[in-house]
Structure 1
Amino acid sequence: MSRAALVNPCRRRFLGQSGAGLVLALSGSTVALAQSAKPAAAQAFKPSAFISISPEGVVTLISKQPEIGQGIKTSLPMVIAEELSVNWRDVKIVQGDLDPIYGSQGAGGSTSTPTNYQDFLRLGATARTLLVQAAAQRWGVPVADCQARDSFVHHRPTGRKLGYGELASLAATLPLPDAASVQLKDPKDYQLLGQRIGGVDNASLVRGAPLFGIDVKLPGMLYAVYEKCPAFGGKVISANLAAVKALPGVRDAFVIEGTSNLNGLMPGVAIVAETTWAAFSARKQLRVQWDEGAVATQSWDGFAAQAAALRGKPGASSLRRDGDVEQALRASGAKVVEASYSYPFISHASMEPQNCTAWWKPESASLELWAPTQNPASGQNLVANTLNIPREKISLHITRSGGGFGRRLSSDFIVEAAAIAQRVAAPVKLCWSREDDLRHDHFRPGGFHHLRGAVDAQGRVSAWHNHFVTFANRVQREGQSVLQPGSGGSLSGDEFPGRWLPNILLEQTALECGVPMGPWRAPGSCVFAWVFHSFIDELAHAAGRDPLEMRLELLGDRDIVPPSNERGQPYHAGRMRAVLLEVAAKSGWGKKKFPRGQGQGMAFHFSHRGYIAEVAEVTVSKSGQLKVDRVVVVSDIGRQIVNLSGAENQVEGSVLDGLGTLMHAQLDLQRGRIVQGNLGEYPLLRMHESPTRVDVHFLRSDHPVTGLGEPALPPLAPAVCNAIFAATGHRVRQLPLSLSDLSWS
């Protein structure tokens, strides 16, 4: 859609009900404008698909991105509200359904804020401009004498003012202002952005209001469970369907053939009942004979043995080869360090298990969905392609999600609900159990890293070799069968310190597996940061150097380090040096003398356009009990913090999530299936294990705003592990920490 493209408001339910005079719709990175017929008096002023102002002065803002706990339902409307100069108390936030008029509606990769920020500023400013023009016309005064502030337009010479509600009808009749005449505020004049604003759903959450997908309730709704093969990709041979159908409250039970797509509709048996209890109870009586397939031969121990056999052998592919690593390793005076690091498959373990409510309406051949999803368009597309339903016949209501962390970017639970709904003449809610959620996740890939490095006689890093053994699924791509590493399971040749060292070799080998894999908070970065910054610490120790000093030396003097190809991103080394020096100052790095059993560790990482450095202080008892006493975090995420409360929460949440994962997260694969089934076997971080203090600091820089849902997580694990080494002399090379003996004497 071009800037001048027209949008037909009659096709949009939200707009069609309003009778609005103007439409501003996001299209990519542009703002598309359209003008419809003049509305009747006392109609709401709707200058945008995202903004509506009632004659009573209520300002309704649409939140188009899914809310998964990252605070986007509060922060993005704040951007519009700031430029609109509206009192936040007058604002009502409504979650938008899936609709092309809103543009991209995914929530992943910390992209929601950076991709919408500038457009939303302009949307708010355009609406403000129209309101000011309306007031000037009402008073018969120059526009320059009028100022919007606090939900009113003020006439500065006389002190008169008109509320936005009073101006709504007139503003809706005005032509759109020329884009050049719409002035954005100077950030120093911001009244809302950068403040601490509580989440718009907080009161509802405290009251237990029905906000989540699992809360959806419709008249005549039925409830479903879906039994899949314990071994990934297995097919149904037979099931005792007649016996299950005869159980109390059961309406139907049937086999769904499914597909071979690990990210789509897998084969299984559906049970539909009158209540959740009846469905779950009937499932206990279900007996299925499975064809488990070749994946039943796969196990973690087998993969670990394959990875061990690759130690010392060349990788299947070379990701970066600069200089001569072997010569640097053999150089006179070089100190060589060799180490192997490994980490397991892990689950997202979000608080709300996967669920979706689906309503197939045969009379219109249409499908209505309610889903806690991070990627509603992907869910719609998967359903359309799998079940052969035209996309325009599928509507999707976005509910709040009880955690996401990347899990709800996959839409398997949505297509399962849709397939079940096609078989019943009623709305049906599919709800996974906790066991389903842990055992049929799209897991963070495990991995193995075989590293060799050297420091020269001057204590500088002179060689770096990493052979990364990852996991991949076999998929069809353009008619070819290829191995595709799981999300976050492919190493970039530009990964730090890839662009900095004269002698470096990065290699990768993929082990074929049948485990479904998907993005997990800060994909790739969440584990690569731990491996690389732990190994940098090993090299610093071998050289007898301060880890901070070595990191600053590695970053060098360049401000910007360019990518190796057009697909990469420039690395602002100057920004990273700044956060590294700031975290050292805030934490008192090098100024404290710790007794045995206590220590400091540091790490930094660049991910999702954020520059983050962290220092951890730990105490480890002689028996090996770990307590994280303090974590200091310094972040550079651009020139503007949108919601300071939300930003602090995201950093603190990343620290807790990172620490819980570091300490406990592990799934065991045996016979092609996950062993763990509930939180008793897959523990999360407990309150007594949380850091005593988390100090959060932000550095402003003159760079575009970025997201904060992920970049603060990767540095946590290496900072804590490096602190453990400083305290005890134990180097942690295997995750989770529960596998390591940290005791000392």
Structure 2
Amino acid sequence: MAGLDVSRRSFLSASLLAGAVLGFQARLALAATPGTEGAPPPALNAFIRINPDNTVVIGAKNPEIGQGIKTMLPMLIAEELDVAWEQVKIEQTDFDDALYGPQGAGGSRATPVNWEPMRQAGAAARAMLVMAAAGQWKVAPETLTTAQGMVHHAASRRIASYASLAAAAAALTPPELAGVPLKDPAKYTIIGTPRKGVDTPAILAGKPLFGIDASPPGMVYAALEACPVFGGTLASLDDGAARAASGVIAVVPINTGLVAKGKHDAVAIVADSWWSAQQARALLAVEWDNGANAAFSTAGYAREAETALGGEAPSDILRKGDAKAALARAAKTVSARYSYPFLAHGTLEPQNCTALYEEGKLTFWAPSQSPGSGRRQVCEMLDLPPEALTIHMTRIGGGFGRRLMNDYMVQVAQIAKALPGRPVKLLYTREDDMRHDWYRPAGWHALSAGLDEEGRLVALQDHFVTFGAEGKPLRAAEMEETEFPAQLLDDVHFGASYLATNLPTGWLRAPTSNAMGFVFQSFLDEVAEAAGLDLPSLVLRTLGEDRMLEKVGRAPQFNTARARKVIEEAVRFAGWKGTRPKGQSDSGKGRGFGFYFSHAGYFAEVVDVTVSPEGTITVDKVWVTGDVGAHVINPLNAENQVQGSVIEGLGQAMIGQEIEQVEGRITQANFDSFPLMRIDGAPAQIAVNFVTSDYPPTGLGEPALPPVVPALANAVYAATGQRVRSLPMKLA
């Protein structure tokens, strides 16, 4: 946000929030920059500028990936600043975490991390405006009120616009943020009201907002030929034909970030157009040294997993009590195996990034979910200091965790350094994107549960096979020891076996939960049937008394009362009858339930399906009930996020999404072999409601996804009598 780039020396830093989510301390830098003739209007702090026409420019500091954060965070500031939303203009800031605090999009953390700091930023600016008016009118600040960008003094009937006070306010010392009073929620006029996305008109008009739209003057284009086998390196290169091709400027061997520094595993072709670069790419004569990496395959992983599940788990995730003994003495036991595949992210905007290298400094136009991590990775690869990087954050055309990885920043930085003074845009093809992703890891589970004579769940065991090394899981292959309902039972064993792979793994929307929700809630549906119950009844009985469970590590703390309320409301909302169908439905119709707690959100969902005699699944309707705290900040966007989560989860489960590896490389290349959910496959209705609880609000980008997958699987069982224990669903 160039308009708010005031001198860093003029900023006074104030500690706002001990960030419980990641253990960092969020900091807000406040600025007092009075306007001068010919200068931009005064900035009251790092986020707020008052224009002469009494409109307010608010900086949106986090990356926007369609989750609505560019609208939501400014809503918090505007509420406490006490302006009308119609007065607000929003600008995306650049990346500067020393100035703005944490700037990232992942883990549904933006709301809990920024709920208080952003409101304090608005309240502090409002207090400064009130103090400026009080000084001019010689009255006590407490005698003044604010509304819609105006300061009022009721006794004298004086009114002043924020614009008329801004210069005087900016000259004041900012107040201590911890002591700035915040609004009574009963007086909110913006928080809790539906607001359309601030970028929506520009997107509909086709205006350039996204990383792929970046076009600085003099820009050239790069296409990338990367080793198709992850971990392979460049053995030989004949680039003569490519260099001689029309429009080609340079051929640059680079490191994608996946092999040791100093080695090359990709070749960039730079040209005056992307088409020229892509055409010349086909003229490269490249040989790769794949080493042992070509031996990896999904078929091989499945064989290894089968062998591992036949033995004891060598690693423990959780061991409490004696699950083996408890299962042996249980009145009834239930056992089943579940599995799920590798998944790609499938973002509609393929990976891209633009960079300019000049005089030892790099400027980026980056569609990154985690620009701070990207800065660190680039600095490590090119041996640059952090202050040498400037990162302009663009809107992102789909992230889902893929753009947390920043490989595209590392790659374009090397290309740009090879062509100093010329901006370079790196753009993947769809095939590049699909075959060079950071994949959601596959997993296999062998589960057993024990029930007592009254049908109560008393023991749980899971042997989890996934990917890792030296007894530790790879990124996104983790399983939490708090996996529901482990904390509610005395005898639990979660063990793990880890397989080797050359595939890079990464977080996919609702990391780990997107898989664990399917496994555990589907299996608990089996357990419920063995107990003579439906799944909501089993979960409610297992929850026991209302209480806060012990906090474990970094996992959010689980509140059984909040879980109970969400489940009971979902049952009421969907008209769940409390009895489960037995076996196959003559009508082909079935109803399933799923509950899950992830990213500090509690969600329960009911899915209605119709399954044709040929095995075609049609999702008729989905009911969703969630608890994300005391406030749903933007109800319109909240509903959209929930519906998007449901559609994405259904797509992962029922339309054939899976990544196959053969001889070390990925076989899928485009959406014909890795399909996304289409309009005609989405549910006709997704009904959403929220229950509120007396807790600070939490994020919504992810927690609605995990429960829909088991709810779908359980609905298919209710309709057909056929258990779905492996994804994607393939009915016989």
Q: TM-score, normalised to structure 1's length?
A: 0.92
The offset of 1:104, in angstroms, is: 1.2
Task: Give the deviation of 1:629 after TM superposition.
Answer: 1.0
Q: Is the 8 A contact 1:75 1:642 kept in 2?
A: yes
1:239 corresponds to: 237
The CA distance in 1 between the partners of 2:560 and 2:262, in whole Å, is: 41
Inter-partner Cα distance in structure 1 for 2:391 and 2:8: 23
How far does the alpha carbon of each residue in 1:654-675 deviate from its partner, in whole angstroms, 9 at most, with x for none?
Answer: 0011011111210101111110
Aligned position for 1:722: 714
In the alignment, the residues of structure 1 paired with residue 553 and residue 250 of structure 2 have an alpha-carbon distance, to the nearest angstrom, of 54
- Deviation at 1:358? 0.9
1:400 — aligned with what? 395
Provide the residue aligned with 1:119 in structure 2: 117
Q: Of 432, 435, 441, which aligns to 1:436?
A: 432
Question: Distance between the aligned counterparts of 1:708 and 1:46, measured in 2?
Answer: 31
Does the Cα contact within 8 Å between 2:15 and 2:27 map onto a contact in 1?
yes
Report whether the alignment pairs 1:369 with 2:364: yes
Matches within 5 A, 1:205-244: 205-244=203-242
For residues 603 and 240 of structure 1, do their structure 2 counterparts lie closer, same or farther at Cα, with a shift above 3 Å needed? same
> Is the Cα contact below 8 Å between 2:6 and 2:33 reproduced in 1?
no
- 8 Å contact kept, 1:265–1:412: no
Matched, 1:584 2:571: yes
Whether the 8 Å contact between 1:637 and 1:707 is mirrored in structure 2 is yes
Cα drift, residue 404 of structure 1: 0.5
Residues 257 and 412 of structure 1: CA distance in aligned 2, closer, same or farther (over 3 Å): closer
Residue in structure 2 matching 1:643, options 631, 634, 637: 634
Shift of 1:372: 0.3
**Correspondence 1:495 to 2:495:** no
Counterpart-to-counterpart distance in 1, 2:141 and 2:285 = 75
The 3-state SS of whatever aligns with 2:683 is coil
* Partner deviation per Cα, 1:656-707 (whole Å, 9 max, x = no partner): 1101111121010111111000011111101111011111111111111111
Q: Does 1:575 align with 2:572?
A: no
Secondary structure of the structure 2 residue equivalent to 1:633:
strand
Aligned to 2:22: none
Shift of 1:340: 1.0
Secondary structure of 2:387's partner? helix
Cα pair distance change 1:108/1:180, threshold 3 Å? closer
State the Cα deviation string for residues 188-239 of structure 1 (Å, max 9, x = none): 1000000000000000000010000000112211100111111111111122
Q: What is the Cα deviation at residue 265 of structure 1?
A: 8.9
Separation (CA, whole Å) in 1 of partners of 2:338 and 2:178: 55
Matched residue SS, 2:487: coil
**What SS is found at the alignment partner of 1:310?**
helix
Which stretch of structure 1 is more off in the superposition, 280-289 or 423-432? 280-289
Q: Which amino acid aligns with 2:667?
A: V
SS at match of 1:282: helix
Whichever residue aligns with residue 384 of structure 2, its letter is I
Contact 1:195 1:642 in 2 (8 A): yes
Task: Give the counterpart letter for 2:530 in structure 1.
Answer: A
Check the 8 A contact 1:20/1:39 in 2, yes or no.
Answer: no
Shift of 1:326: 2.9
Q: 1:56-455 counterparts in 2 under 5 A? A: 56-99=53-96, 100-179=98-177, 182-256=180-254, 260-261=258-259, 267-331=265-329, 334-361=331-358, 364-425=359-420, 426-455=422-451
The SS at the match of 1:635 is: strand
Of 442, 454, 460, 1:464 maps to 460
Show CA shifts across 1:242-275 (max 9, x none).
Answer: 0111111111113225665499996111100110
Deviates further, 656-665 or 487-496: 487-496
1:465-488 CA distance string (max 9 Å, x none): 11000112x5xxxxxxx4652333
Aligned residue number for residue 621 of structure 2: 630
* Gap change, CA 1:23 and 1:264, over 3 Å in 2: farther
Aligned 8 A contact 1:21 1:46 in 2: no
CA, structure 1 residues 179+268, in 2 after alignment: closer, same or farther (shift >3 Å)?
closer
Amino acid across the alignment from 2:597: F
User: 3-state DSSP class of the match of 1:338?
Assistant: strand
Q: Separation in 1 of the partners of 2:14 and 2:213?
A: 31
1:138–1:354 distance in 2 versus 1, CA, 3 Å: same
Shift of 1:500: 1.4
Amino acid in structure 1 at the alignment position of 2:82: S
Shift of 1:453: 1.9
State yes or no: 1:611 paired with 2:602.
yes
For 2:263 and 2:210, the matched residues in 1 are separated by 23
Count of matched residue pairs: 717
Encode CA deviations 1:8-66: one digit per residue, 9 max, x unaligned.
Answer: xxxx9765558997656666646556676865479633221111112332211111100
CA distance in 2, matches of 1:699, 1:205: 32
- The 2-side partners of 1:284 and 1:212 are apart by 28
Range with greater deviation from structure 2 (108-117 or 156-165)? 156-165
The answer for the alignment partner of 2:23 in structure 1 is none
Distance in 1, matches of 2:557 and 2:274, equals 51
CA distance, structure 1, for counterparts of residue 30 and residue 731 of structure 2: 62
SS in 2 for 1:697: strand
Please say if 1:652 is aligned against 2:643.
Answer: yes
Structure 1 residues 263 and 211 mapped into 2: Cα distance closer, same or farther (>3 Å)? farther
* Superposition pairs of residues 626-705 of structure 1, within 5 angstroms: 626-663=617-654, 664-705=656-697
CA contact (8 A) 1:28 1:103 kept: no
Q: Distance in 1 between matches of 2:367 and 2:280?
A: 25
1:132 to partner: Cα distance: 1.7
| 1:740 alignment counterpart | 731
Q: Unaligned 5+ residue runs, structure 2?
A: 19-25
- Percent identity of equivalent pairs: 43
User: Which blocks of at least 5 consecutive residues in structure 1 are unaligned?
Assistant: 1-11, 475-481
TM-score normalised to the size of structure 2?
A: 0.94
1:611 maps to amino acid = Y
Measure, in 2, the Cα distance between the counterparts of 1:16 and 1:462. Answer: 60
Amino acid in the other structure paired with 1:574: A
